[in-house]
Amino acid sequence: MPLYEYYCAECNGIFELLRPVRQSSDPQPCPQCDSDSRRLMPTDFNAFVVRDGMPRRIPDDGTYWGLEGRLKNPLTTNDPKPEDIIGFKAKRPDSTILSDEERATPKPEVVVRRREKKRAKAATGDA
């Protein structure tokens, strides 16, 4: 089922619904106020209440959106504060840091034979 967007004039907000295609143009009840809402066409995005550059979404829980997901406060810089990111997970320890065991294991020697052959050929002059 495709995802459609509907506009509630009462709440002045947009909500999404998964609808079968044949039901998509029927008015849908708003999840917040239950009034009939009409389907939004991509050309309808004109003058909505805008929050952080996006039309207000219903249900409205007062959060904002950034690339990191939901934010508690609107973005004011390129990098949101970690405490503003809802569900923020601290970075895992750097996996590139070697453990003591890994450090103690000697790395296998890499032998490059091909290059030596080429060099030898070049030195004798028969290319």
Residues that bind Zn ion (CB under 5 A): 8, 10-11, 30, 32-33
- Cβ proximity to Zn ion: between 32 and 66 the closer is 32
Nearer to Zn ion, 32 or 63 (CB): 32
User: What contacts 101, CB < 8 A, 6 or more positions away?
Assistant: none
Number of Cβ within a 10 Å radius of residue 56:
16
The 10 Å CB-count burial string (b at 16+, else e) for 9-32 is eebebbbebebeeeebeeebebbe
Could you tell me which residues come within 8 angstroms of residue 7 by beta carbon, excluding any fewer than 6 positions away? 13, 14, 37, 38, 39, 40, 44, 48
- Closest approach of Cβ 71 to Zn ion, in Å? 24
Strands 54-55 and 64-66: unpaired
In the complex, minimum distance from the CB of residue 58 to Zn ion, in angstroms, rounded to a whole number: 6
Nearer to Zn ion, 8 or 71 (CB): 8
Q: Which residue is nearest to Zn ion (CB)?
A: 30
Q: How far is the CB of 70 from Zn ion (least distance, A)?
A: 21
Q: How far is the CB of 10 from Zn ion (least distance, A)?
A: 4
Return the number of the residue (52 or 60) whose C-beta is nearest Zn ion.
Answer: 60
